Structure 1
Amino acid sequence: MIRVAGVLSFGLICGTALAQNLPNVPPPPTVTVQPLPSVVAPRAPVSQFDATPLQKAPQVAPGSSNWISGSAADLRLLDKVTARVSGVVLKPGESRDFGSLTIVMRSCLVRPKDQPADSAVFLDVTDRHGGPGFHGWMLASAPALTMMEHPGYDIRVSLCNP
């Protein structure tokens, strides 16, 4: 009985939809494709120029006048496994063990007071367990550019004391 009522109601709904008058819709207009007119662009005059540089760029060693040697570097060390953060102050030539890492601070530079503040530290980092190490400069202002890729530890330069 329920099936019969369901079939009848379905038939009534569909029949009502089919019984409606739809307005006559005109067919879409036909589009004719016409070729584009051929246009020739005028030629621009070509001039000759001398490719020799006017003057040579000055040969300045990178960082020779923009940085001042510092006395100690303040580093922030993160153990990713235990979430332990440690602060370490190292002088040039000093080393410190942190977990399986041995960190040696080779040099510390700071920008002069008349320039934007920044610190740079040259580090040698080795892992006793054979993990990836680091040998290079780390910048305090751009840690993502010069970060150490290690699965267990992060090292970040906080500042370099002049």
Structure 2
Amino acid sequence: MTGGRTLRAHILVAALAAGTIALGGAAYAQSQGRRQPPPPPSPDDGTKISQPIANFSGLDKITGRIIAFDVAINETVQFGALQVTPRVCYSRPQTIAPLTTTFVEVDEITLDNKIRRIFTGWMFADSPGLHAVEHPVYDIWLTACKATSNDVPATAVKQ
């Protein structure tokens, strides 16, 4: 058992020494005026691009049909008994990892013609199940943010 501990101790010392050398090399490079590569951008570092169109997909669970539809920001589109209103839609440049988000409000029109808010919040295109609208009859999720759309009239797009 002591042989195993000794081996682990030697491995730990070697790993610590390698880390110290790596950190020392970075510090030396900085002291010599060499620049270290910048860290990868974070989601909130100003690289988000505000888009005027949010693209959603909707599933009608009764018929099994999936329909893609575009909605201009601050406009409302009805999908079945649901009204979808995106407030903002952000994407990122193609040169960095995608992160497409929208802040959306979804209302349900009940059988007695009343409007009831069933969802308010952020949706993420890369995690459709995380913040998708789940309804007994309909599911809605964000698929993209776009600059233009053939489905939305140009007068509805506010730049």
Contact 1:72/1:161, CA 8 A, preserved across alignment: yes
Aligned counterpart, 1:118? 99
Please identify which structure carries the higher strand content: 2
> What TM-score, normalized by structure 2, do the two folds share?
0.57
Aligned counterpart, 1:76? 57
Measured in 1, the distance between the counterparts of 2:119 and 2:65 equals 20
Q: CA deviation at 1:101?
A: 0.6
1:135-146 equivalences under 5 Å are: 135-146=120-131
Q: What is the one-letter code of the residue matched to 1:65?
A: G
Q: What is the one-letter code of the residue matched to 2:87?
A: R
Q: Alignment identity in percent? A: 33
Measured in 2, the distance between the counterparts of 1:98 and 1:149 equals 13
Which structure ranks higher in relative contact order (CA pairs < 8 Å, sequence separation ≥ 6)? 2
Q: What is the one-letter code of the residue matched to 1:110?
A: S
Find out whether 1:99 has 2:80 as its counterpart. Answer: yes
Q: What is the one-letter code of the residue matched to 1:113?
A: Q
Aligned counterpart, 1:151? 136
Please identify which structure carries the higher helix content: 2
Aligned counterpart, 2:89? 108
Q: Tell me the secondary structure at the aligned position of residue 117 of structure 1.
A: coil
Choose which of 100, 106, 118 in structure 2 pairs with 1:133.
Answer: 118
Q: What is the one-letter code of the residue matched to 1:83?
A: G
- Structure number, greater radius of gyration: 1
Number of equivalenced pairs: 101
Q: CA deviation at 1:106?
A: 0.9
Cα distance change on mapping 1:132 and 1:80 into 2, 3 Å: farther
Q: CA deviation at 1:137?
A: 0.9
Q: CA deviation at 1:64?
A: 5.5
1:4-23 equivalences under 5 Å are: none
Q: Tell me the secondary structure at the aligned position of residue 66 of structure 1.
A: coil
Measured in 1, the distance between the counterparts of 2:141 and 2:132 equals 7
Q: Tell me the secondary structure at the aligned position of residue 97 of structure 2.
A: coil
Measured in 2, the distance between the counterparts of 1:97 and 1:149 equals 15
Q: CA deviation at 1:131?
A: 6.9
Gaps of 5+ in 1: 1-61
Contact 2:76/2:83, CA 8 A, preserved across alignment: yes
